[in-house]
A and B are shown apart, each in its own frame.
Chain A
Amino acid sequence: MAVKIIESCVNCFACLPVCPSNAIYEAKPHFLVDAKKCTECEGAFADFQCASICPIEGAILNSFGEEINPAGSLTGIPPEKMAEAMAELQAH
């Protein structure tokens, strides 16, 4: 059981010091979780610490491969609004 950091991570360091298991490390091109060390914060905290501070939606997955912070959950921007704005920018 372990969480996973994927390529949308922006290397902001926020998760690194809050992990109770020292499971997160700096790597290229993005931060990674040592699956052997990650305890999913069991026994230490009610929520995954890394996913509670990470500012990037979708950057951390749970052990089922699901986004812990799905699109729109952190920024409050409805995903369709974001898609619309991006399409508009593409058109220019």
Chain B
Amino acid sequence: MQLPVLNNVPEAKSGCAASSCGSTDSQIDSLPDAIREKVQNHPCYSEDAHHYFARMHVAVAPACNIQCHYCNRKYDCANESRPGVVSEVLTPDQAVKKTMAVAANIPQMTVLGIAGPGDPLANPEKTFETFRRLSEEAPDIKLCVSTNGLALPAAVEELAKHNIDHVTITINCVDPEIGAKIYPWIFWNNRRIKGVKAAKILIEQQQKGLEMLIAKGILVKVNSVMIPGINDEHLAEVSRVVKSKGAFLHNVMPLIAEAEHGTFYGVMGQRGPTPEELQDLQDSCSGDMNMMRHCRQCRADAVGMLGEDRGDEFTLDKIEDMDIDYQAAMEKRKVIHAAIQEEMDSKRLEKAQKAEAQKQAERMTTRPVLMAVATSGQGVINVHFGHAKEFLIYEASPSGVRFISHRKADAYCSGDISCGETESTLQRTIHSLAGCEAVLCSKVGYEPWEMLEKAGIMPNGEHAMENIEDAVMAVYREMAKAGKLTAENAPIRASA
């Protein structure tokens, strides 16, 4: 399937669709300059930048104008970067204070987003007041907003005024029949509207909003929640449509549904996708998808680097006591950002040189292999297998090492018979590594070692504190030498 990244740059990902694409950065490199400029240091879009820069979200928008079957307004939403309404909702004034306090204390924080707890554009006054003040008082912070799209067309003019450069629209379908299975109702023109009619209006508004934003030159990212049996097969079509209209990237996230969330899907037993199903879909939508593979579905009030939350350091009573001199903070931030930029540039250069050297070296003809890595950041293997809350999945192949995705250690239960109540955390963790042939960590205990081997995943603790990509390549070479990588030796993938 041919999926152009942007309609005006049909060649953008040529040579990149196959599994041989060098790295996530080359995905970014293929974007038009203006867009690349904007995203290459953005922690949510650039795989290497997210090791250095941080984002935060403020919850200023409690109201919502639609209902999704994966959401329960009472609790934190696991799917859409949204805390529940019971979490601390801030006034615009508090949000501005908090943002500046965080920016002064965590200079790496460069992106402020509003994503909830409801729909930011269903709370236009609060959302825009926050943006307006921040663009005046903290001009060195990038602003972004996520929306379900229903109120988007009416908000585009205002968004353009506040100079917001990223908008994320959650688009789960472009077919109202499918939409009716995802959205039970919307509030539109003073009425609650249900069923296919509601989905049709929502889809029309989303698409119209997307087109209007593109026409204004505002970057648009599209998020989709992958719901097996509902929209999983449809998402390739969604991808095609939104990219042809100019969305610069499409991010597919797995449905998270548990009965205790009290959501329609949770209670009705709708399952989420397995890590393999998710990866297969991401592969089939290929191209720029790579840029978001490190997405952690962070919460709307999260603070810090991706996958980390330092929100507790910045509660309302604590920021009330902080005295922030933002001018001074901005000077300090500038110096630190420049230093980070320098380090990132040199690492990027080094990586490009390595890739080049790799190309020059003897061509291997071995098959690609997936490996899991336990890390807490800084690009090195530094976490004990048993302590890993998440694994980064890399693919090694003759053309190099590329980052594929991030998997939670024991969050996935695919609902099949091997995953009953008796399954231990360890078993679930091993289950979540399905498809991988090796796991690299700083150390592995005896019991997990045996179970991993039994599951066909080779444990490896020999590369502690080493650079991830070098270590993955080294292990790959060892496997190749041992003759494990001929086509006949391919693992049987469990995603039947």
Tell me whether A46 and B191 are in contact (CB under 8 A): yes
B117 contacts which chain A residues (CB < 8 A)?
A: 12
User: B249-279 vs A: 1/0 string, CB under 8 Å?
Assistant: 0000000000110111011100000000000
A47 contacts which chain B residues (CB < 8 A)?
A: 190-192
Tell me whether B259 and A45 are in contact (CB under 8 A): no
Tell me whether B64 and A82 are in contact (CB under 8 A): no
Tell me whether A56 and B268 are in contact (CB under 8 A): no
User: B302-327 vs A: 1/0 string, CB under 8 Å?
Assistant: 00000000000000000000000000
The stretch of B66-74, B340-348, B349-357 in contact with A is B66-74
**Cβ-closest chain B residue relative to A81:** B267
Cα of A18 to Cα of B85 in the assembled complex, Å: 18
B176 contacts which chain A residues (CB < 8 A)?
A: none
B24-77 contacts to A (CB < 8 Å)? 62-65, 67, 69, 72-74
B73 contacts which chain A residues (CB < 8 A)?
A: 10, 12, 55-56
Tell me whether A14 and B267 are in contact (CB under 8 A): no
Tell me whether B64 and A52 are in contact (CB under 8 A): no
Tell me whether A85 and B267 are in contact (CB under 8 A): yes
**Cβ-closest chain B residue relative to A14:** B63
Tell me whether B118 and A14 are in contact (CB under 8 A): yes
- Among A13, A74, A82, A85, the residue within 8 A (CB) of B63 is A13
**Cβ-closest chain A residue relative to B187:** A53
Interface size class of B (residues with CB under 8 A): 20 to 34
A77 contacts which chain B residues (CB < 8 A)?
A: 264, 267-268
**Cβ-closest chain A residue relative to B72:** A75
**Cβ-closest chain A residue relative to B260:** A89
Tell me whether B184 and A12 are in contact (CB under 8 A): no
Shortest distance in angstroms between B438's beta carbon and chain A's nearest beta carbon? 35
Tell me whether A10 and B191 are in contact (CB under 8 A): no
With an 8 A cutoff between CB atoms, is B86 at the interface? yes
Tell me whether B67 and A74 are in contact (CB under 8 A): yes
User: B74-88 vs A: 1/0 string, CB under 8 Å?
Assistant: 100000000011100
**Cβ-closest chain A residue relative to B117:** A12
With an 8 A cutoff between CB atoms, is B185 at the interface? yes
Cα of A18 to Cα of B263 in the assembled complex, Å: 25
Cα of A49 to Cα of B84 in the assembled complex, Å: 23
Shortest distance in angstroms between B128's beta carbon and chain A's nearest beta carbon? 14
With an 8 A cutoff between CB atoms, is B123 at the interface? yes
With an 8 A cutoff between CB atoms, is B383 at the interface? no
With an 8 A cutoff between CB atoms, is B457 at the interface? no
Tell me whether A74 and B85 are in contact (CB under 8 A): no
Cα of A88 to Cα of B267 in the assembled complex, Å: 11
Shortest distance in angstroms between A40's beta carbon and chain B's nearest beta carbon? 14
Tell me whether A45 and B122 are in contact (CB under 8 A): no
Cα of A33 to Cα of B86 in the assembled complex, Å: 20
Best-buried of A46, A55, A81 by chain B (most CB within 10 Å): A55
Tell me whether B67 and A10 are in contact (CB under 8 A): no
**Cβ-closest chain A residue relative to B266:** A85
Cα of A89 to Cα of B262 in the assembled complex, Å: 11
Tell me whether A75 and B184 are in contact (CB under 8 A): yes
* A13 in contact with B264 given A52-B190, A55-B73 (CB within 8 Å): no
A61-92 contacts to B (CB < 8 Å)? 74-77, 81-82, 85, 88-89
A76 contacts which chain B residues (CB < 8 A)?
A: 69, 184, 264
With an 8 A cutoff between CB atoms, is A11 at the interface? yes
Tell me whether A52 and B187 are in contact (CB under 8 A): yes
Cα of A12 to Cα of B116 in the assembled complex, Å: 11
**Cβ-closest chain A residue relative to B65:** A53
B190 contacts which chain A residues (CB < 8 A)?
A: 18, 45-47, 49, 52
B85 contacts which chain A residues (CB < 8 A)?
A: 10-12
A88 contacts which chain B residues (CB < 8 A)?
A: 259
**Cβ-closest chain B residue relative to A89:** B260
Shortest distance in angstroms between A74's beta carbon and chain B's nearest beta carbon? 6
A74 contacts which chain B residues (CB < 8 A)?
A: 67, 184-185
- Among A18, A46, A49, A81, the residue within 8 A (CB) of B268 is A81
Tell me whether B267 and A12 are in contact (CB under 8 A): no
Tell me whether A12 and B64 are in contact (CB under 8 A): yes
Best-buried of A46, A76, A88, A89 by chain B (most CB within 10 Å): A76
Tell me whether B192 and A52 are in contact (CB under 8 A): yes
A89 contacts which chain B residues (CB < 8 A)?
A: 259-260
Cα of A37 to Cα of B262 in the assembled complex, Å: 34
Tell me whether A14 and B122 are in contact (CB under 8 A): yes
User: A12-26 vs B: 1/0 string, CB under 8 Å?
Assistant: 111011100000000
- Among A14, A49, A85, the residue within 8 A (CB) of B64 is A14
* A12 in contact with B264 given A47-B191, A74-B184 (CB within 8 Å): no
Nearest 4 pairs of A and B residues by beta carbon: A14-B63, A53-B187, A52-B192, A55-B73
Known: A52-B187, A76-B69, A85-B267. 7 other contacts (CB 8 A): A12-B73, A14-B62, A14-B122, A18-B187, A47-B190, A47-B192, A77-B267
User: Using a CB–CB distance below 8 Å, which chain A residues touch chain B?
Assistant: 10-14, 16-18, 45-47, 49, 52-53, 55-56, 74-77, 81-82, 85, 88-89
User: Using a CB–CB distance below 8 Å, which chain B residues touch chain A?
Assistant: 62-65, 67, 69, 72-74, 84-86, 117-118, 122-123, 184-185, 187, 190-192, 259-260, 262-264, 266-268
Pick 9 A–B contacts, CB within 8 A, sort by A.
A10-B86, A45-B190, A47-B190, A56-B73, A76-B184, A77-B267, A85-B259, A85-B267, A88-B259
